[in-house]
């Protein structure tokens, strides 16, 4: 049995929560406390299909893309799948001729119609100067998904199937447009029509400073509603309403609150109705380098408007949604023993992986990463990531070094721009432990003949500080290097734990590293 086997009992993630030691919003007494997920799940949209809820999120350049979560009660969530397996429209997604940081999937929209799931998203650049729009369709959120790329650029899309058979996308930033799609939702039927161009000032009244974006569309009691954020990170949520989908629209601010994490406001998300008729809203809040985290908020209808929270203020602790049953505490899986020949859903690659350079079967029970040439970690392919969890979390990786070659660097990073890592470097047959800050090695120590090392990175939202340490026995850890402060040089993308292996000597024959397990310890 592997070391730390107790931590790896993750076959049934809703049962084995104890094995992960990560944040959960479920208080176990019929209440929950926001945030709903203490990690980077930005631009959430949510739907209900029968007794099941599905949430989708932005993932940018990470692969697979457009993650979909599943829940039975809107509080306890687990990963269900991804709508995008990889990006094939530009060689830079393979890190050939450049990189595609901050591209990929933005502002996903999810809907269910006539037995099929639909996921749409925009990509700000790639094909053409402005980018493009994608529609992914599947019979199940587990896939397989079929993706269609549109030549049109539909920014921050909100997909809507009307009850008369027509299909629309509301999109735009500042100025909102309505584009009708063909009945299969796979192509544009008619040119876009402008439906809104008014901006808002900081107090939420019409002005010139902050335009609307992040639209989602609903038809409720014969009226069309479009929910949109305004004001960015410190913003709020606006709702538009009309008897006609083309307008004219009236507006109402439906939540304007930063009380739970000032000065960052609740903004951008999706509306969903329970079977019993209750309405809820999942809405995000920016928490700096740890990402944009979702909140679950009750909705009260007032004068025909869906007011979020209570008195336009978000709730922190509240009674769980009444879904008719009680479900076990559950969070998305984090830890991994790499015993499964299929990569766990908690993982995403930094850009498209080279599938010939990684394996879960060459050394059963280990993730093998084969090194390839890269000038630094930003250009290193086959780097495997998952979210840094809040309010604090510690990632630990055990690595077998026997396969390393000269020029190899392998280890555990906290990745963004800048990044930092703790790892092992091999030069002229000699291995040493190193800690690097944004590519520059600032501390090191000899490794001797040790062939197995444990790396640890501990992160907190208090100052967004990370500390690194290592162990030669998996029990006793020694600090290495200095404190690292997480930042957001790549806008709108949170810091991540990263497992990596690359070689920085041109023309060298790279080796490989075997990761025995990775686990996260939370509060």
Residue 68, beta-bridge partner list = 56, 81
pLDDT digits (tens, 9 = 90+) for 344-366: 999 999 999 999 999 999 999 99
Average pLDDT score over residue span 278-298: 97
pLDDT digits (tens, 9 = 90+) for 112-161: 999 999 999 999 875 545 789 999 999 999 999 999 999 999 999 999 99
Both 434 and 286 in one domain: the answer is no
Number of domains into which the chain is organized? 2
Both 193 and 311 in one domain: the answer is yes
d(CA 24, CA 34): 9
Specify if 62 maps to a domain.
Answer: yes
The sign of the torsion formed by the CA atoms of 284, 234, 348, 108 equals positive
Residue 61: pLDDT band (50, 70, 90) is very high
Specify if 208 maps to a domain.
Answer: yes
Both 431 and 489 in one domain: the answer is yes
Both 470 and 386 in one domain: the answer is yes
Both 39 and 178 in one domain: the answer is yes
For residues 194-222, one letter each, b for 16 or more C-beta atoms within 10 angstroms of the residue's C-beta and e for the rest, the string is ebbebebeeebeeeeebbbbbbbbbeeee
Specify if 206 maps to a domain.
Answer: yes
pLDDT at 16 > cutoff 80: no
Specify if 20 maps to a domain.
Answer: no
Q: Please, are residues 368 and 356 in contact by the beta-carbon 8 Å criterion?
A: no
**Token pair listed for 138:** 């599947």
Over 148-183, what HEC string results?
EEECCCCCCCEEEECCCCCEEEEECCECEEEEEECC
Average pLDDT score over residue span 491-505: 96
Both 255 and 354 in one domain: the answer is no
d(CA 73, CA 36): 12
Residue 423 or 130, more confident: 423
The SS3 of residue 94 is helix
Both 309 and 444 in one domain: the answer is no
d(CA 54, CA 75): 12
Q: What integer pLDDT is reported at residue 22 of this predicted model?
A: 76
Both 352 and 486 in one domain: the answer is yes
Over 492-522, what HEC string results?
CCCCEEEEEEEECCCCCCCCEEEEEEEEEEC
Q: What integer pLDDT is reported at residue 202 of this predicted model?
A: 67
Residue 3 or 338, more confident: 338
Domain boundary among 302, 319, 336: 319
What integer best gives the mean pLDDT of the chain?
93
pLDDT digits (tens, 9 = 90+) for 387-413: 999 999 999 999 999 999 999 999 999
Both 282 and 360 in one domain: the answer is no
Which domain covers residue 374, as residue numbers?
348-521
Q: What is the pTM of this model?
A: 0.94
Both 461 and 515 in one domain: the answer is yes
**Token pair listed for 239:** 């709702």
Residue 71, beta-bridge partner list = 53, 77
Q: What integer pLDDT is reported at residue 487 of this predicted model?
A: 96
Q: Which is the catalytic residue, given 26, 40, 43, 408?
A: 43
The SS3 of residue 350 is strand
Specify if 340 maps to a domain.
Answer: no
Average pLDDT score over residue span 161-176: 96
Specify if 10 maps to a domain.
Answer: no
How many CB atoms sit inside 10 A of residue 492's CB?
16
CA distances from 449 to 42, 130, 401, 429 (A): 44, 53, 10, 11
Specify if 130 maps to a domain.
Answer: yes
Q: Please, are residues 513 and 399 in contact by the beta-carbon 8 Å criterion?
A: yes
Q: Domain with 276 in it: what CATH number?
A: 2.115.10.20
Q: Domain with 466 in it: what CATH number?
A: 2.60.120.200
Both 270 and 353 in one domain: the answer is no
Both 242 and 384 in one domain: the answer is no
Q: Which is the catalytic residue, given 45, 213, 336, 425?
A: 213
Specify if 301 maps to a domain.
Answer: yes
Q: What integer pLDDT is reported at residue 448 of this predicted model?
A: 86
Among residues 272, 174, 244, 262, the alpha carbon closest in space to that of 214 is found at 174
Domain boundary among 280, 300, 319: 319
Q: What integer pLDDT is reported at residue 498 of this predicted model?
A: 98
Give yes or no: 398 in active site.
Answer: no
Residue 449: pLDDT band (50, 70, 90) is confident
Give yes or no: 213 in active site.
Answer: yes
């Amino acid at each position: 049995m592997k070391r730390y086997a107790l931590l790896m009992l993750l076959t049934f993630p809703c049962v084995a929560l104890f094995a992960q030691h990560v944040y959960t919003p479920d208080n176990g007494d019929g209440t929950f406390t926001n945030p709903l997920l203490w990690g980077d799940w930005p631009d959430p949209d949510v739907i209900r299909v029968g007794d099941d809820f599905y949430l989708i999120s932005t993932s940018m350049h990470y692969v697979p893309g457009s993650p979909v979560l599943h829940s039975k009660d809107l509080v306890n969530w687990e990963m269900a799948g991804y709508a995008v397996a990889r990006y094939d429209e530009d060689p830079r997604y393979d890190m050939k001729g450049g990189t595609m940081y901050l591209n990929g999937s933005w502002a996903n929209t999810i809907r269910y119609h006539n037995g099929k799931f639909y996921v749409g998203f925009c990509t700000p650049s790639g094909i053409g100067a402005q980018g493009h729009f994608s529609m992914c369709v599947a019979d199940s959120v587990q896939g397989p998904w079929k993706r269609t790329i549109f030549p049109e650029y539909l920014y921050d899309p909100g997909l809507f199937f009307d009850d008369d058979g027509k299909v629309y996308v509301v999109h735009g930033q500042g100025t909102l447009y309505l584009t009708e799609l063909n009945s299969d939702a796979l192509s544009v039927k008619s040119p876009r029509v402008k439906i809104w161009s008014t901006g808002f000032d900081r107090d939420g009244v019409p002005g010139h400073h902050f335009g609307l974006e992040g639209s989602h569309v609903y038809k409720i009691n014969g009226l069309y509603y479009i929910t949109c954020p305004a004001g960015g990170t410190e913003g709020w949520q606006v709702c538009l309403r009309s008897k006609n989908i083309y307008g004219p629209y009236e507006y109402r601010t439906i939540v304007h609150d930063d009380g739970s994490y000032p000065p960052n406001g609740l903004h951008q998300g999706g509306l969903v109705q329970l079977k019993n008729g209750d309405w809820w809203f999942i809405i995000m809040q920016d928490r700096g380098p740890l990402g944009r985290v979702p909140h679950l908020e009750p909705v009260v209808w007032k004068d025909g408007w869906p007011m979020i929270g209570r008195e336009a203020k978000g709730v922190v602790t509240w009674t769980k949604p009444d879904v008719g049953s009680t479900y076990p505490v559950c969070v998305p899986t984090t830890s991994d023993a790499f015993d499964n020949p299929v990569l766990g859903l908690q993982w995403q690659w930094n850009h498209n992986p080279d599938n010939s350079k990684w394996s879960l079967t060459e050394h059963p029970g280990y993730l093998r990463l084969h090194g390839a040439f890269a000038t630094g970690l930003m250009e290193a392919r086959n780097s495997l990531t998952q979210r840094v969890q809040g309010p604090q979390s510690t990632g630990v990786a055990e690595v077998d070094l026997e396969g390393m070659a000269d020029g190899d660097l392998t280890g555990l990073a906290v990745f963004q721009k800048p990044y930092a890592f703790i790892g092992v470097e091999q030069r002229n047959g000699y291995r040493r432990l190193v800690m690097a800050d944004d590519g520059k090695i600032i501390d090191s120590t000899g490794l001797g003949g040790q062939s197995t090392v444990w790396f640890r990175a501990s992160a907190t939202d208090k100052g967004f500080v990370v500390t690194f340490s290592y162990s030669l026995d998996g029990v006793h850890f020694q600090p290495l290097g200095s404190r690292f402060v997480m930042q957001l040089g790549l806008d709108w993308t949170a810091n991540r734990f990263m497992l990596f292996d690359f070689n920085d000597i041109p023309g060298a024959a790279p080796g490989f590293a075997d990761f025995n397990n990775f686990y996260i310890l939370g509060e």
